[in-house]
Amino acid sequence: MVPRPQDKAVVTLKWLYKIKHAIDGSAEKYKARFVARGFSQKEGIDYDEIFAPASHYTTIHSIIALAASQGWNLHHMDVKTAFLHGSIKEEVYVEQPEGFEIHDQESHVCKLKKALYGLKQAPRAWYERVDSYLMKLGFTRSEADPNLYFKVEDDNHLILVLYVNDLFLIGADPLIHKCKRELASKFEMKDLGLMHCFLGLEVWQKPGDIFLSQGKYVVKILKRFGMVDCKLVTTPMELDFKKLSGSAVRPVLRNAT
């Protein structure tokens, strides 16, 4: 806690509440997260670089295909409160957390040493932290995708894909288990074992085969547009649709209100 600085803006804070659902749609966990209102930050004062790369979907699809062709299992890990691991270089102050105020020091604020969810630089700070550690573990970063890492030990291969706070690994089982232990020693991790759900994909694995589905996502879209009870059709398009020529097409403008 420090006295409120006169020449620096103080970032406000907010509690967010969320229900995390399991793959079957049931409530798995009730989460409360304390976040910063990063929209009040000013570029060049409270933050500089904020860009953090995200893995390409083509990379994820390619790695899953590689795992299936090589007979490897897909392992999934989740980093708990990933953005809180990042260290920030800028001088950032936030107000006292709601519910944890010091009543005889209402004019004081908190000076951050670590990142908070909601800060502009939080994603980049986390990526720099985990990227640095993976390089220390002997991984090589791919030039094609900065979130794809690989290494070879005793002719055994290990590939790791990072997607914000999710990691999945394929390769030789001894290297996978060794990597899990090394990651867990540095960050608070949740070992989810074999992958069952990732980025909306439902994953089923058996020796030599990997099956992907988006059934849960489809149901979610149907609920969103009120089409859960719609009739099934073999062709999701008008059967006797006749395409109009370019000259017959006329733009239609509608009042947005």
What is residue 78's predicted lDDT score, i.e. its pLDDT?
92
Query: Who wins on pLDDT, 120 or 254?
Result: 120
Query: The pTM is what?
Result: 0.77
SS3 content of the chain, % helix, strand, coil (to 5): 25, 30, 45
* Residue 243 token pair: 């395409």
pLDDT tens figures, 145-162: 999 999 999 889 999 999
Give Cα separations from 121 to 6, 164, 178 (angstroms): 23, 13, 31
Q: What is the mean pLDDT of residues 164-172?
A: 92
In which band, very low, low, confident or very high, does the pLDDT at 257 lie, cut at 50, 70 and 90? very low
Query: Starting from the edge strand earliest in sequence, which strands make up the sheet with 209-213, in order?
Result: 197-198, 201-206, 209-213
How many angstroms separate the first and last alpha carbons of the chain?
50
User: pLDDT tens across 53-62, in order?
Assistant: 888 889 998 9
> Residue 12 pLDDT > 80, yes or no?
yes
